[in-house]
Amino acid sequence: MEARFSTWALVMLLFAAGAKRGFAGSLASYWGQNENEGSLADVCASGNYDILMLAFLNVFGNGQTPSLNLAGHCNTSSGGCQVLVSDVQSCQSNGKRVILSLGGSPDSGNYGLSSSQDAQNVAQYLWDNFLGGSSSSSPLGAVQLDGIDLDIEKKDGSQYYPDLITTLRSLAKNYGKSLYITAAPQCPFPDKNLGPGDGTALSAGVDIVFVQFYNNACGYQGTSDQLVAAWNQWTRSLSSSQVFLGLPASPNAADSGYVDPTTLINDILPQINKASNYGGVMLWNVFQDEQNNYSAQIKASVEMLAS
Ligand SMILES: *[C@@H]1O[C@H](CO)[C@@H](O)[C@H](O)[C@H]1NC(C)=O
Ligand SMILES: *[C@@H]1O[C@H](CO)[C@@H](O)[C@H](O)[C@H]1NC(C)=O
């Protein structure tokens, strides 16, 4: 009797693990652009998110010394961000993934890759300072983040990202845990910087794609047809990546694209979670989400997968 029960329990466990399909049914958000959103550790402890992006490493490439902008949270140049070592560890020990996002708004920072060699140098810098390597001057101390996100929004910002990705993947062969490469294209397909297409990041192979359905014509604006059409194109084209629906977390978070929770739950999620590579929902950003109590209202529905 007991033995039979354990076999059954094992079968159920395997079934549950298979049904989860990687990150399917997850919530992701960007932390770092408003000091009033609370510490990273507190945000992870809220339980609202599975994946947090640190936003942003907004200076890199072209031989520059890379630099992080975490708004008022901390100042890396005076060593003030070392506090994040314990915050990141606390998130990771609660099963959250913490990913460094590169790029951000085209109006701030200074980033872009100037050659294949430049891309390899940036990859090595990321590995040494934020991933599995080591550096005596890491802005965040001895963190071992779970991945790198590409939010490349500057004009003419597409080149050499495949070299960055290939170098990171080869450095991470002996990481001892998964290294996730993620990207945040705009919803018009393909994204002008990230692709997919020859020589683009998305064609080089990205694990998770956070498609930004805001500030664009394919975002929600009273109707969802154009959103669902774009979603289907993204999920079919990037069949080996998990795809997230990226939304503003409040009406104030973007110029357009906000979806009220009821419409998201009743109209949109049941259409998009049919994709076998549905990942979940990405929210821009943690601060706006807290103001609007958005993730708490949608979380249970985001987790529900189509049968
Ligand atoms: C960060 O620290 C550096 C070095 O101490 C200082 O020059 C700079 O003004 C600080 N930046 C901010 C935004 O406080
Ligand atoms: C946020 O939403 C959750 C889920 O609907 C609800 O239980 C909670 O009371 C809300 N919190 C606030 C501050 O409105």
Q: What is the pLDDT of residue 263?
A: 98
Q: Which residues line ligand 2 (CB under 6 A)?
A: 293, 296-297
pLDDT tens per residue across span 241-288: 999 999 999 999 999 999 999 999 999 999 999 999 999 999 999 999
Is any ligand 1 atom within 6 A of the Cβ of residue 75? Answer: yes
Q: Does residue 294 surpass a pLDDT of 80?
A: yes
The CA 139 to ligand 1 mean position distance, Å, reads: 13
Instruction: Say what the pLDDT of residue 76 is.
Output: 82
pLDDT of residue 17: 41
Give how far Cα 1 sits from Cα of 4, 14, 97, Å: 5, 20, 40
pLDDT recorded at residue 80? 81
pLDDT at position 9 = 52
In a domain, 244, yes or no: yes
Ligand 2 center from residue 300 Cα (angstroms): 12
- Would residue 18 count as lying in a domain? no
CB 114 within 8 A of CB 163: no
| 3-class secondary-structure state, position 30 | strand
User: Given 2, 35, 37, 153, which residue is catalytic?
Assistant: 153
**Is 12 contained in some domain?**
no
User: What's this model's pTM, rounded to 2 decimal places?
Assistant: 0.92
How far away, in angstroms, is 73 Cα from ligand 1 center?
A: 12
Is 3 domain-assigned? no
Distance between CA atoms of 100 and 276, rounded to whole angstroms?
A: 26
Predicted pLDDT of residue 1 = 41
The boundaries of the domain holding residue 270 are: 23-304
Say which range, 4-8, 69-73, 138-142, 302-306, has the weakest mean pLDDT: 4-8
SS3 191: strand
CA dist., res. 262 & res. 167, Å (int)? 43
Question: Whose CA is closest to 208, among 166, 248, 178?
Answer: 178
In a domain, 6, yes or no: no
Q: Can you tell me whether residue 204 is helix, strand or coil?
A: helix
- Local structure of 105: helix, strand or coil: coil
User: From the CA atom positions of the chain, what is the Rg in Å?
Assistant: 19
6 lines ligand 1 (CB under 6 A): no
From the number of C-beta atoms within 10 Å of its C-beta (0-12, 13-18, 19+), residue 294 rates as buried
Q: Is the dihedral of CA 68, 70, 71, 72 positive or negative?
A: negative
178: how many CB neighbours lie within 10 A of its CB? 10
Q: What integer pLDDT is reported at residue 79 of this predicted model?
A: 77
Number of domains making up the chain: 1
The pLDDT of residue 254 is 97
Q: Output the domain CATH number for residue 164.
A: 3.20.20.80
> Is residue 146 domain-resident?
yes
Measure the CA–CA gap between 184 and 282, rounded to whole angstroms: 10
Instruction: Please check whether residue 100 lies inside any domain of the structure.
Output: yes
Q: Is residue 275 part of a domain?
A: yes
Task: Clarify whether 153 is annotated catalytic.
Answer: yes
pLDDT tens sequence across 173-197: 999 999 999 999 999 999 999 999 9
Percent of the chain with pLDDT over 90: 84
**What is the structure's pLDDT at 19?**
43
